[in-house]
């Protein structure tokens, strides 16, 4: 039996280019898993093994690796930083117990760091912070920790201080033990010496040491009192307090270094062992009832409990379909039969493997706390619960963002349709934020995703991995419709044509709902004018019409329907008659209720050198952007704005032109807002033209 207290399931997450993958490489090198480090900029890192990742120097899908440090087992997941792939970060955080948040020493807290940090807060994942790239121009450890306080609202507990900065960065001081770790110029991680604190840093180290002790002892009232009376707590006591505070998210132990130059990494690994929780120390996952609400029970992390696990990622590779699974309770042996709680079907476990990025080690058994992959599972999707057939349970499922952008595609050669269908089926199973549908009128295949880069990469994967060349249409925006005023109306459905007739009369109110409420229905009928058994049919009729609005056929958002009266016929009334009445009522009343077109608004974060700020802001204004914030940094200015998605296509090209190639931006979906009249008219006319052409 493995000792669960020696397990650490951790993720590494940060903004694009803060050095997550390089940090993962260094962890693997230090723990002896790899003997030669591969560099991201050479396209040779272990965890970026997709062709698209190696070429673009970015991480697209999260990769899992296992390694050992000081007799502790680390299961490490390297996650993407790009906003179009946040679903990978979200689902990784769901199954991890701790994390390392990596920040760039010169870039600081960047847009995607904020999103990932917010996800980690929602998932209540304990983290240590690693401020990386301190050897770079413009790096400033103290400025980054201040940003963590201000921008993320987090409390960094500073554990190491840098010795020298930029070109002169040579090591770190451990604030807790007041020892300096200094690396030589060979770039080898093991070539360091432990020395006394440099003379010019003694006062600063003393000051931070005192702050560290004061913050730590707040976690233990007795220690705090003793400390106030002048008693110095022992190293063990301080570490115990830091561990508790880290687990409770009271603060985040903060380290510094340069992963690329191999400086400062050992202390980060020690921090994972010392301060991040083992699987048994994290609040257990809640179990759900059939309605999807918590039932008050939990998946206790123990090998002696019945088997419970969550499938958090599906990946198709040269060996077949891999289902990545986090085991919360119990054991799993090769040959066991397990139940998929979502589908109600059982499956036999043929092969289990421990992942080393795209290599694998065969396993015969696994237990609570492990992150493994099962080969060849059928019908399992991301978020499904796998459990012991004798003890069926459901774990809290995952919620994924809805796509905001779509493109129409078709294979270049006629025979490619079937091949494309199979490939897209596999890709949709792998990535829940990537959706596909067929336009019934035109027969076109529509791909939907989180952004232009997301869909770009999907088209690239179809071409290279599956050999399907596509003709790609223009990106389309996912518009929505809603209503703006309340109306009261009545509708009667009656049909008499030999045999039994149909009759249903409903009196109802339709009004705008709360933002993001979707569709809500209530009945206040008294006196049995519409018998109770027909209410669900009325609700079903209205709800089924929400997928296609009256303006341009886009889905309808945020509508509240109240059924308050009506009439029925003892013989001719039926559920189907009332459902048809509700459908007719929707068509009749929505145009009267001030139907309005909504467009997706994106939260855009642009980084630009100072001399181009005016151009960038002017351009965002022309794109109907609403300025939110402007913040000057050392190397440039960050501009935050809300901009309609329809105005952002091809923005990267314009930004590069305006800023001589030095500007960067990221965007993510924020909310839906009403379209201006002129824009709405253009969109509606274009949709009608499309329908007429079909």
Residue 529, class by beta-carbon neighbours within 10 Å (0-12 exposed, 13-18 middle, 19+ buried)? middle
pLDDT the model gives residue 416? 77
Please tell me what DSSP assigns to residue 149: H
- C-beta of residue 379 within 8 angstroms of C-beta of residue 346: no
| Assessment of whether the complete model's pTM goes beyond 0.75 | no
Select from 651, 319, 321, 317 the least CA-distant residue to 461. Answer: 317
- As a three-state string, the secondary structure of 348-407 is ECCEEEEEECCEEEEECEEECCCEEEEECCCCCCCCCEEECCCCCCCECCCCCCCCCEEE
* Segment 473-513, tens digit of pLDDT: 878 888 899 999 999 999 999 887 666 788 999 999 999 98
Q: What are phi and psi of 625, to 5 degrees?
A: -80, 150
3-state SS, residue 274: helix
* Segment 593-621, tens digit of pLDDT: 999 999 989 888 888 888 889 999 999 99
Neighbours of 198 (CB within 10 A): 16
pLDDT the model gives residue 193? 87
20-30 and 265-275 helices, crossing angle to 10°: 80
In DSSP terms, 536 is beta-bridged to none
pLDDT over 80 (residue 535): yes
Select from 377, 372, 304 the least CA-distant residue to 346. Answer: 377
What are the distances in angstroms from CA 588 to CA 19, 290, 305, 492, 519? Answer: 57, 36, 57, 11, 18
- C-beta of residue 566 within 8 angstroms of C-beta of residue 535: no
Alpha helices by DSSP H, 547-609: 575-589
Q: What are phi and psi of 547, to 5 degrees?
A: -80, -10
What is the rounded radius of gyration, in angstroms, for the C-alpha atoms of the chain? 29
Q: Which domains are seen in the chain, by residue range?
A: 4-281 (3.40.50.300), 288-387 (2.40.30.10), 405-477 (3.30.70.870), 484-594 (3.30.230.10), 598-679 (3.30.70.240)
Strongest mean pLDDT among 187-196, 392-401, 543-552, 645-654: 543-552
Lowest model confidence (mean pLDDT) among 103-112, 220-229, 512-521:
103-112
Report DSSP letters for 99-146, one per residue: EEEEEETTTBS-HHHHHHHHHHHHTT-EEEEEEE-TTSTT--HHHHHH
Helix (H) or strand (E) holding 234, with range, is none
pLDDT the model gives residue 152? 84
State the pairing for strand pair 371-375/320-329. antiparallel
3-state SS, residue 220: coil
pLDDT the model gives residue 617? 94
């Amino acid at each position: 039996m493995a000792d669960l207290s020696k397990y650490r399931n951790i993720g590494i997450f940060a903004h694009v280019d803060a050095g997550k993958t390089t940090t993962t490489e260094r962890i693997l090198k230090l723990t002896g898993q790899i003997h030669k480090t591969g560099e991201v900029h050479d396209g040779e890192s272990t965890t970026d093994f997709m062709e698209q990742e190696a070429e673009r120097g970015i991480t697209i899908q999260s990769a899992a690796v296992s390694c050992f440090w000081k007799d502790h087992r680390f299961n490490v997941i390297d996650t993407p930083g790009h906003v179009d792939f946040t679903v990978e970060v979200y689902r990784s955080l769901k199954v991890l117990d701790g994390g390392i948040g990596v920040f760039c020493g010169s870039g600081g807290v960047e847009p995607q760091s904020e999103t990932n940090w917010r996800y980690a807060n929602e998932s209540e994942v304990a983290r240590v912070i690693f401020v990386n790239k301190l050897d770079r121009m413009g790096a400033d450890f103290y400025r980054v920790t201040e940003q963590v306080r201000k921008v993320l609202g987090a409390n960094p507990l500073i554990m190491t201080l840098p010795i020298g900065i930029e070109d002169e960065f040579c090591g770190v001081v451990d604030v807790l033990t007041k020892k300096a770790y200094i690396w030589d110029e060979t770039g080898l991680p093991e070539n360091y010496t432990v020395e006394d604190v440099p003379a010019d840093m003694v006062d600063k180290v003393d000051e931070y040491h005192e702050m560290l002790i004061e913050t730590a002892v707040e976690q233990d009232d007795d220690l705090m009192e003793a400390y106030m009376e002048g008693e110095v707590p022992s190293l063990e006591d301080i570490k115990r307090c830091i561990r508790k505070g880290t687990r409770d998210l009271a603060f985040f132990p903060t380290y510094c270094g340069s992963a690329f130059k191999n400086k400062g990494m050992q202390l980060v690994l020690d921090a994972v062992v010392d301060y991040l929780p083992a699987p048994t120390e994290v609040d257990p996952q809640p179990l759900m009832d059939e309605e999807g609400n918590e039932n008050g029970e939990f998946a206790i992390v123990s090998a002696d409990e019945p088997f419970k696990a969550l499938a958090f990622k599906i990946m198709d590779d040269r060996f077949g379909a891999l289902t990545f699974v986090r085991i919360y309770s119990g054991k799993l042996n090769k040959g066991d039969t397990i139940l998929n709680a979502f589908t109600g079907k059982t499956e036999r476990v043929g092969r289990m493997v421990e992942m080393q990025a795209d290599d694998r080690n065969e396993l015969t058994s696994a237990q609570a706390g492990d992150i493994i992959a099962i080969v060849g599972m059928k019908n399992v999707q991301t978020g499904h619960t796998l459990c012991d057939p004798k003890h069926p349970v459901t774990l809290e499922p995952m919620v994924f963002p809805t796509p905001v952008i779509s493109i129409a595609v078709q294979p270049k050669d006629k025979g490619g349709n079937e091949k494309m269908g199979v490939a897209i089926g596999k890709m949709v199973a792998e990535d829940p934020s990537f959706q596909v549908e067929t336009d019934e009128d035109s027969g076109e295949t529509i791909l939907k995703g989180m952004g232009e880069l997301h869909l770009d990469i999907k088209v690239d994967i179809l071409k290279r991995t599956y050999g399907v060349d596509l003709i790609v249409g223009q990106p389309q925006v996912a518009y929505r419709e809603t209503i703006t005023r309340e109306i009261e109306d009545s509708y009667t459905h009656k049909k008499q044509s030999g045999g039994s007739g149909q009759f249903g009369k409903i009196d109802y109110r339709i009004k705008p709902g709360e933002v993001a409420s979707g569709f809500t229905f209530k009945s206040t009928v008294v006196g049995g004018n519409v018998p109770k058994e027909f209410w669900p049919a009325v609700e079903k009729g209205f709800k089924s019409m929400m997928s296609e609005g009256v303006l341009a056929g886009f889905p309808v958002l945020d509508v509240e329907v109240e059924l308050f009266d009506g009439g029925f016929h003892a013989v001719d009334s039926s559920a189907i008659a009332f459902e048809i009445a509700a459908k007719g009522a929707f068509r009749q009343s929505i145009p009267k209720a001030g139907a309005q077109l909504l467009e997706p608004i994106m939260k855009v974060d642009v980084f630009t050198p100072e001399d181009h700020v005016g151009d960038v802001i002017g351009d965002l204004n022309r794109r109907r952007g609403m300025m939110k914030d402007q913040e000057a940094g050392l190397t440039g200015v960050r501009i935050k704005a809300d901009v309609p998605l329809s105005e952002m296509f091809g923005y990267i090209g314009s930004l590069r032109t305006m800023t001589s190639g030095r500007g960067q931006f990221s965007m993510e979906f924020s909310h839906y807002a009403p379209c201006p009249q002129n824009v709405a008219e253009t969109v509606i006319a274009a949709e009608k033209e499309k329908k007429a052409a079909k």
